[in-house]
Amino acid sequence: MRTIKLGSKKKQVKYKFRETCFGIVYKDNEFYVTEKDGEISLIGGGIDNDETHEETLRREFIEEAGLKIKEIIPFVTIDCYWHTRDDHEMNSLANFYIVKVEDDILEPTESVSKLVLVSKDEIMSKLLLPYQSKAMQMFLDWNKN
C-alpha cells in the first residue's frame, strides 16, 4: 500500500502517536460514515494490542456501525502531522481501505456513534480530520464517474 505524508514534523515538538485503520464504504452512490455530536468520520479507529489491520477494521465496523465486512482492498496510508482542536500535536499513521460490506445492518456493539449515509457531494465538507479528508479526496479522484 502506498504511503504519503501530510503536514510536516516540527523540530523540538513532542507528538502523540496513533496508528489507525479506516474503511471507505461507497455503496449505492452514498458513503457509510459514523456520526457523533454532529460530526462525521469514516468507520474505523485505533489498532488494539497486536491486531492486524483486517482485525481492527472488522472489530471497528461491528462496534461503530453494525456492519459485517465482505471484502477489504488496500488503498493508501497517510502519515499525518497535525494539530488537534484540543491543542495537541499528533502524528497519525492512518491506513485506509476500500471496504465492501454485507447488506444486513446489525445493532452496533458500542453506542457512541451512529451509522449515517452521506452523499458524494457532501462528504468533503463534513469530514474534519485532515487525513480522512485527504484519503477521501484521493478516493473521489480515483473513482471519478
- CATH label of the domain that carries residue 113: 3.90.79.10
Distance CA 136, CA 145 (A): 15
Residues of the chain under the 50 pLDDT cut: none
Three-state secondary structure call for residue 2: coil
Domain span holding position 67: 3-142
Q: At residue 55, what are phi and psi to the nearest 5 degrees? A: -65, -40
Residue 19's beta-bridge partner residues?
Answer: 93
pLDDT in tens, 113-123: 899 999 988 99
Residues in contact with 121: Cβ distance below 8 Å, sequence separation at least 6, in sequence order:
none
How many domains does the chain divide into? 1
Distance CA 75, CA 95 (A): 8
- pTM, full prediction: 0.94
